[in-house]
Amino acid sequence: MIKAGIIGATGYAGGELVRLLQNHREAEVVWYGSRSYIDKRYSEVYQNMFRIVENVCRDDDLSELADQADVIFTATPQGFLAGILTEEILSKTKVIDLSADYRIKDVAVYEKWYGIEHKSPQFIREAVYGLCEINRGKITSETRLVANPGCYTTCSILTAYPLVKEGLIDVDTLIVDAKSGTSGAGRGAKVANLFCEVNENIKAYGVGSHRHTPEIEEQLGYAADRPVTISFTPHLVPMNRGILVTEYASLIRKPDGSLPSYAEIRAAYEKHYGGETFVRLLEKGVCPETRWVEGSNYVDIGFVVEERTGRIVMMGALDNLVKGAAGQAVQNMNLLFGLRESEGLDLAPCFP
């Protein structure tokens, strides 16, 4: 039985980790870290876990936890893990970090977009970017530190990746218009996230400056094998869960001036995702919707070729707390420990 510790267990992503690990046959949670609720029973904070989780919340003592746990999930604010991670900890246990601290290889880019100094850049190189469908081979029993991808980024990258990789689209024209449910904003007490402020509203935010932008650019840059600069615009939607991305790019015409066909584009997706458990390439004419993936680890992907404009509209949907956070973290844990990749994640989406 894998012993897992969670730092930040009372945030929304932390709570989802608890839910998923309850359902996991080979792992158990041994530490519910929550600085805000130390010594309070976990089920008093998340009453859904009443009579399911009997533990009390504990402090964020990473050193002590490293002695007790085989793997530590950190669902913590940006900069937190970078400030306390040590070689000693990594020598004792594996760490799956749900924050952005080790996602971006260029520390200058991290510090510019996040506006904070990185306190332990020495671990960045070692960290594996845990986008399982793309980096599966690097997530092994040898791996000590996994940088679990962001919610917007997971959805944005997976939706475009095969077409970038196969050179079917002009990445310089790529625009990602993303829409997220409100759990992505976290459980902090802010006026902007009150029910009455979010309900009956839609807005863009962080236009041209959202922190997930360089993460998407870096990963798609690997696929394109050159630097990529994109427009990324997130929006806040009045719903609890779910991310939908709508991505626009010009298709690269063939020598004869024609556009790649639907079948050719589909083949590119099939090539990369044909064997994937958690990526569902929808049938022609079907658009992804967040409701159809809610509660599950699936990413649903669809696309439409616009003959009139020469563009493709790619769409992807996932549950930001599952594939966009806790589910992918569990998937990474499964890979780290050589378990069946979908263990604990065999959840059919729940509708309505």
Pairing of β 243-250 and β 175-180 = antiparallel
What's the min distance (Å) between Cβ of 181 and its own copies? 8
Measured between alpha carbons, how far is 18 from 29 in angstroms, rounded to an integer?
Answer: 7
Q: Residues 44, 45, 50, 55: is their CA dihedral positive or negative?
A: negative
Site size with its own copies, rule: CB under 8 A: 82
Nearest to 311 by CA among 168, 165, 152: 168
Does 350 engage in binding with its own copies (CB under 8 A)?
Answer: yes
Whether the CB-CB separation of 338 and 27 falls below 8 Å is answered with no
List the one residue from 32, 46, 129, 152 that touches its own copies (CB under 8 A): 46
List the one residue from 240, 252, 264, 267 that touches its own copies (CB under 8 A): 240
Residue type, 82: A
Which of residues 84 and 305 has its CB atom nearest to its own copies in the complex? 305
Which of residues 47 and 141 has its CB atom nearest to its own copies in the complex? 47
Which of residues 31 and 278 has its CB atom nearest to its own copies in the complex? 278
Whether the CB-CB separation of 77 and 110 falls below 8 Å is answered with no
The interface region with its own copies, picked from 78-86, 114-122, 143-151, 305-313 by CB under 8 A, is 305-313
List the one residue from 112, 190, 253, 340 that touches its own copies (CB under 8 A): 190
Does 311 engage in binding with its own copies (CB under 8 A)?
Answer: yes
Does 282 engage in binding with its own copies (CB under 8 A)?
Answer: yes
The interface region with its own copies, picked from 70-78, 87-95, 235-243, 327-335 by CB under 8 A, is 235-243
Measured between alpha carbons, how far is 56 from 305 in angstroms, rounded to an integer?
Answer: 53
What end-to-end distance do the CA atoms of the chain give, in Å?
34
Sites for its own copies among residues 47-76 (CB under 8 A):
47-52
List the one residue from 83, 115, 227, 238 that touches its own copies (CB under 8 A): 238
Interface pattern 120-159 for its own copies (x via CB under 8 A): ----------------------------------------
Does 187 engage in binding with its own copies (CB under 8 A)?
Answer: yes
The interface region with its own copies, picked from 69-77, 90-98, 219-227, 309-317 by CB under 8 A, is 309-317
Output 192-199 pairs: Cβ under 8 A, ≥24 positions apart. 198/236, 198/238, 199/238
Nearest to 104 by CA among 250, 215, 4, 242: 215
Does 175 engage in binding with its own copies (CB under 8 A)?
Answer: yes
Sites for its own copies among residues 197-226 (CB under 8 A):
197-205, 207-208
Task: Find all residues with CB under 8 Å of 79, minimum gap 6, and list them.
Answer: 99, 101, 114, 116, 118, 119
Catalytic residues, by residue number, are 151
Which of residues 92 and 235 has its CB atom nearest to its own copies in the complex? 235
